[in-house]
Every structure is written in structure tokens, then in C-alpha cells.
Amino acid sequence: MHYQLYYWPTIQGRGEFVRLALEEAQVPYTDVARGKNGVDKLIKKMAQGPTPSYAPPFLVAGEQTLGQVANILQFIGGAHGLAPRAQRGRLWVNQLQLTIADVVAEAHDTHHPISVDLTYEAQSGAAKKRAAAFVNGRIPKFLDYFEGVLALAGKGGYLLGSRLSYADLSLFQLVEGLRYAFPAAMARLDGEHPRLLQLCAQVAARPALARYLNSKRRIPFNEEGIFRHYAALDR
């Protein structure tokens, strides 16, 4: 099946978690909003029933339209071998994905602690405070958690051990994003999370992923996305 992904065309953002899964699974898809009149198409399609989305990304898979990153990934994971078939393993991967999503939301709010309708510059004072709390309190706690999960998983280097799941791709993207946004803070933390670093290296080296990451399909990080680098926030 050929999928249609709908997401903002100029950023990695939340859509990137879906793109990574589609690329790793080598599923044919169109990134609709990157085509002609793409954003208009996105806006129009998003509100359509029977399953409208509150926000992008959403994925059209035949007659089905799915929103919310963790939900889309659950579908792709099941259909394309990026999640266990048994319920227990499937729910565990979903739990990990939802915890990754929590970090992503917190990372976003470091540059928008007051309102998504204001610019970063209009809330940079609060942003500095929130970013300090995120960098010093939250990032270490989240990274420690995932390092602990990897220790429990044993050999293989992935969250489930030797078997790759979509949560590994998302964890790679999370760490990449945090490194882009907070390079100084992440450099301090790298030595404490060897398993996490190993996972990121393994994911980046997967052939399909490596091709994608080196292609023009991979939009560079920038200051319109979720992970933004502002020197004032990286302390």
C-alpha cells in the first residue's frame, strides 16, 4: 500500500517520527504537504471525517486516516514488522513511545513556555527559566530512565534487546533533537549514557535509515521545529 503522510513541509517536527518509521520499513509514501499546494491540502484534509485530526501529522492508509504520532506508529509498527505481534510486547513499545512523546512535548515548551501563539522572542525570559529546569532536571531523569530500560533489555542494543522497534527510531530522533537544541548540556550527559549512545549509532547505521538521513528528504533541524537551538537556552 502507498501511504500519504500529511505534515508541515519545512520542519522535522512530530512528523519526523513517522517519516523515520516509513523509511526504515521502506514503505512507499508521499509527503503530501511538500508537494504543490501541499499546505492547503493538509488543512483541508485534516478536518475531514470520519476521523479528523486535531493537528498534523496524520497518515492516510487506504480508507483509514490516522492521527497522533504514537497511534500512527502503532499502526505502522504492526503492519510492517516494527513492533512485536504479541500484545504484551506491543503495549510495552507503545508505553516507551508515549514516554518519548512526553519528552518531545517538554522540549517544545522550553522555547514556548507561555503560548504557541507568541514568538520565542516574546517569551524568551520564561523560556530561559523553563529550559534551565528541563536541561538540569528533566533531561537527565529521562535519559537515565531509557538507559535503565536498555540495561534491562540486555544484549542487542535496542529497547527490546536484539529486535528493532519503532520506539528505537523515535528514541534516536529524540536524542538527535536534544543534541541539536542543547549541545553543551548533552555533551555533559553523554558519558553517563553509553547504551543510549550505542542505540543511536546502531539506528543511524541501518542501511535504509542511513540513506534517508543523507538524502534531501531529511529536512535539517531549524528554528521553526520542535527542537530549536537558541544559545541562551543551552546552559
Residues contributing to the site for a second copy (CB under 8 A): 47, 49-54, 64, 66-68, 70-71, 74-75, 78, 87-88, 91-92, 94-95, 98-99, 102, 105, 109, 113-118, 123, 126, 129-130, 133, 137-138, 142, 145, 148-149, 152
Residue reference for cell 501541499: 38
Helix, strand, coil shares of the chain, percent, nearest 5, are 60, 5, 35
Q: How many residues does the chain have?
A: 235
Least Å from the CB of residue 55 to a second copy: 8
Least Å from the CB of residue 212 to a second copy: 25
Residue with Cβ nearer a second copy (64 or 119) = 64
Q: Are 168 and 203 in contact (CB under 8 A)?
A: yes
Q: Which residues have C-beta within 8 Å of that of residue 49, sequence separation ≥ 6?
A: none
Residue with Cβ nearer a second copy (118 or 201) = 118
Least Å from the CB of residue 179 to a second copy: 21
Residue with Cβ nearer a second copy (105 or 205) = 105
Residue with Cβ nearer a second copy (63 or 216) = 63
Least Å from the CB of residue 97 to a second copy: 9
- Do the bridges between strand 58-61 and strand 3-6 make them parallel or antiparallel, or are there none, so unpaired? antiparallel
Q: Strand, helix or coil at 122?
A: helix
Residue reference for cell 501529522: 57
